[in-house]
Amino acid sequence: MLQRLQDSAFCMWVVGSDSLWAYPTILTLHTAGLAIIVGAAFVIDLRMLGVGAEVPLPLMRTVFRFFWAGFIINLASGVVLFAVDAVHKAKQPVFFVKLALIAAAIVVTARIRRRGFTPRDAAPSAAIRPLAIASLTLWAGAIVAGRLMAYL
Amino acid sequence: MFGFISWLEATGFSTTLRNTTWLWPTCESIHFLGLTMLIGAAGFFDLRLMGFMRRVPIAAAKAFMPYGIAGFALNLMTGTLFFVMRPSMYAFSAAWWAKVFFIVLAGFNAMLFETTLGARVLTLGPGENTPTSFKIVGCVSLLSWFAVLYFGRMLPYIGTGN
């Protein structure tokens, strides 16, 4: 089934085309999306850790919009990047490590969104700090795992 | 320039680094981490300069910038290592020169802001719109950094001469 996916007309175009709009652009979208997702998580986590304490929390919360926009870009581009190399990637342990790290990072980020922004006017409670550190660590791990997919 | 490039590539330093197992993937991983720090922190500040999130005091939005600059420092170091390891791959790539151009543009843009406009930052309270000059600086910065990312990622595909 993975082989048939990989051999589909669309996938053949993505990897076979000389056009910059095919594989290179999808790959670049995935990197731009990563910058938006983890960049957004980075400033939110810093805020939770006390950096930029003058930024009102409800406004900090709007940064999640960028987070989810980036996530949609990377889900879409990621599905294509998987499809064109499905047989190989389905056998790569580091790919599943990356997926697991992303899943864990999203759970932690969602928990920060729920707990880190109440009460509205006060500083985030100290209890949120371990979550922010976990988020930074998990997102960094996901990036490293993704990069190492080219080598492992 | 050709002489310098082939000299550098032949030095023991370049050769040793190039043949160090896992150095390249390690630098790549750090380069990706650095870019998220830079785009996260600079992007937040740039959006505020452009007039978004107006209720954020502009000086507060700037508080994340030291972390963005740290990300840039990581990328300057790892980027220099990439160049030392494979100088000819970069020096003869149009995409690499485009990337360098946008780094320099972003640098001058930031310097212009710091030296001429930056002082006005502190006089802007929460809720205040930003002057047009701030909007231009923020927009140039944000577009430049994404252009740097674009040409970096496109390095294997654009202007390699093959």
Give me the DSSP letters along chain A: -HHHHHTSHHHHHHHH---TTTHHHHHHHHHHHHHHHHHHHHHHHHHHTTTTTTS-HHHHTTHHHHHHHHHHHHHHHHHHHHHTTHHHHTT-HHHHHHHHHHHHHHHHHHHHHHHTT-STTSPPPGGGHHHHHHHHHHHHHHHHHHHHTTT-
- Compute, in degrees rounded to 10, the torsion defined by CA atoms A115, A116, A120, A122: 120
Asked if B61 contacts A58 with a C-beta cutoff of 8 angstroms, the reply is: no
pLDDT in tens, chain A (152 residues): 889 899 898 898 888 888 888 899 999 999 999 999 999 999 999 999 999 998 989 889 999 999 999 999 999 999 999 999 999 999 999 999 999 999 999 999 999 999 888 766 667 888 899 999 999 999 999 999 999 999 98
pLDDT tens sequence across B49-104 = 999 998 888 888 999 999 999 999 999 999 999 999 999 999 999 999 999 999 99
Instruction: Report d(CA A81, CA A103) in Å as an integer.
Output: 18
Interface contact B57-A41, CB threshold 8 A:
no
Model pLDDT for residues A26-68, shown as the tens digit of each residue: 999 999 999 999 999 999 999 999 999 989 898 899 999 999 9
**pLDDT value, residue B58:** 86
ipTM of the complex model: 0.94
Residues from chain A contacting residue B67 (CB–CB below 8 Å): 42, 46, 51
Q: What is the mean pLDDT of chain B?
A: 93
Question: B161 falls in which pLDDT band (50, 70, 90)?
Answer: low
pLDDT for A121 equals 62
> What's the Cα-to-Cα distance from B99 to each of B6, B16, B22, B91, B102, rounded to whole Å?
22, 26, 25, 11, 5
The whole-angstrom separation of Cα B2 and Cα B60 is: 47
Residues on chain B touching A34 (C-beta within 8 angstroms): 32, 36
Structure tokens at B52: 């978004």
Residue of A nearest to B58 (CA): A55
Contact A43 B40 (CB under 8 A): yes
Q: Please state, in angstroms and rounded to a whole number, the distance separating the CA atoms of residues A142 and A146.
A: 6
User: Which of B36, B37, B154 to mutate to test binding with chain A, by most A CBs within 10 Å of its CB?
Assistant: B36
Quick check: A43 and A59 in contact, CB under 8 A?
A: no
Contact in structure between B50 and B135 (CB atoms under 8 Å) = yes
Asked if the Cβ–Cβ distance from B60 to A54 is below 8 Å, we say yes
- Kindly indicate the confidence band of residue B122, based on its pLDDT and cuts at 50, 70 and 90: low
Residue type, B68: G
Amino acid in the structure at residue B3: G
B interface with A, Cβ–Cβ < 8 A, is: 25, 28-29, 32-33, 35-37, 39-41, 43-44, 53, 55-57, 59-61, 63-64, 67, 126, 146, 149-150, 153-154, 156-158
Q: How much of chain A, in percent, has pLDDT values that exceed 70?
A: 97
- Give the residue from chain A lying closest to B47, CA to CA: A63
The stretch B100-109 carries a mean pLDDT of 97
pTM for the full model? 0.94
Is the pLDDT at B41 greater than 50? The verdict is yes
CA B16 to chain centre: 27
Q: According to the model, what pLDDT value does residue B136 have?
A: 95
B-chain residues within 8 Å CB-CB of A35? Answer: 35-36, 39-40, 146, 149
**DSSP code string of B88-143:** HHHHT-HHHHHHHHHHHHHHHHHHHIIIIIGGGGGG--TTPPPPHHHHHHHHHHHH
Where do the structural domains in chain A lie, given as residue ranges?
2-148
What was the pLDDT predicted at B162? 45
Residue B139: band (very low, low, confident or very high) from pLDDT cuts 50, 70, 90: very high
Interface contact flag, B35 A35, Cβ < 8 Å: yes
Nearest CA to A10 out of A61, A81, A74, A73 is that of A81
Exposed / middle / buried, residue A137 (Cβ in 10 Å: 0-12, 13-18, 19+): middle
Instruction: Give the closest-approach CA distance of B6 to chain A in angstroms.
Output: 27
With 0-12 / 13-18 / 19 or more C-beta atoms within 10 angstroms meaning exposed / middle / buried, residue B25 is middle
Taking CB atoms and an 8 Å limit, are A43 and B41 in contact across chains?
yes
B13, B84 contact by CB (below 8 A): yes
Amino acid at A3: Q
Measured CA angle at B152 (ends B151, B153), to 5 deg? 95
B35, B149 contact by CB (below 8 A):
yes
